[in-house]
Amino acid sequence: MDPSEGPPPALGRTVPEFTLQSVDGGVLRLSDVEEPVVVLNLFAFWCDTWIEQLPQVRELVTQQEALGFRFISISIDGRWPGQLEQVCGDQHPPWPILLDSDMMLAKALGIRHAPTVLVLDQSRRVQHAWEGYPGNHRVLRGIRRTLSKNAQ
């Protein structure tokens, strides 16, 4: 994405309601997510870093239920993810992968780079944001801090 298109996601910005199609044909609405913390991983299928992230993200999502967060990947490049089947075969990732084909969400959030990772609180405000996948340690720290802040 063109870095001149806007500012990076601002901390404290509320993510607008969205309804996006998933790669499996279903749809997901942000308001339907019940977990108090949501991690959005906005990526592009054309960028090979999503392939490199898969093992880390698979490990991270195993902790969703115990910690009380929901991990959601959102493709912002508008391409049908045939690469997903090519890379994963029938071992699809066990978390939602959504398609922001017209990039409306990415534009609303000022996303300039893929991947961008956002940790949202229960009000769906951005509490932590990284351009590039920061690694599970930093994401988990952001999740725990957000959960703690939610509890206050």
CA distances from 27 to 20, 32, 53 (A): 5, 10, 23
pTM score, whole prediction: 0.89
Domain ranges (residues) in the chain: 12-76+86-151
C-alpha distances in Å from residue 89, one per residue of 60, 82, 85, 92, 108: 20, 10, 5, 7, 33
Q: What is the pLDDT of residues 53-80, one digit of tens each?
A: 888 999 999 999 899 999 999 998 866 6
Q: Identify the weakest region by mean pLDDT among 18-22, 24-28, 44-48, 66-70.
A: 44-48
Q: Residue 56 in contact with residue 71, Cβ under 8 Å?
A: no
Q: pLDDT at position 3, please?
A: 40
> Which of 116, 118, 145 lies closest to 15, judged by CA?
118
> Nearest to residue 131, comparing CAs of 145, 144, 150, 118?
118
Cα separation, 41 vs 148, whole angstroms = 21
User: How many Å from the N-terminal Cα to the C-terminal Cα in the chain?
Assistant: 37
List, in sequence order, the alpha helices (H) in 12-151: 49-61, 64-67, 82-88, 104-109, 136-151
77 and 50 Cβ atoms separated by less than 8 Å: no
pLDDT number for residue 117: 95
Protein fold of 12-76+86-151: Glutaredoxin (3.40.30)
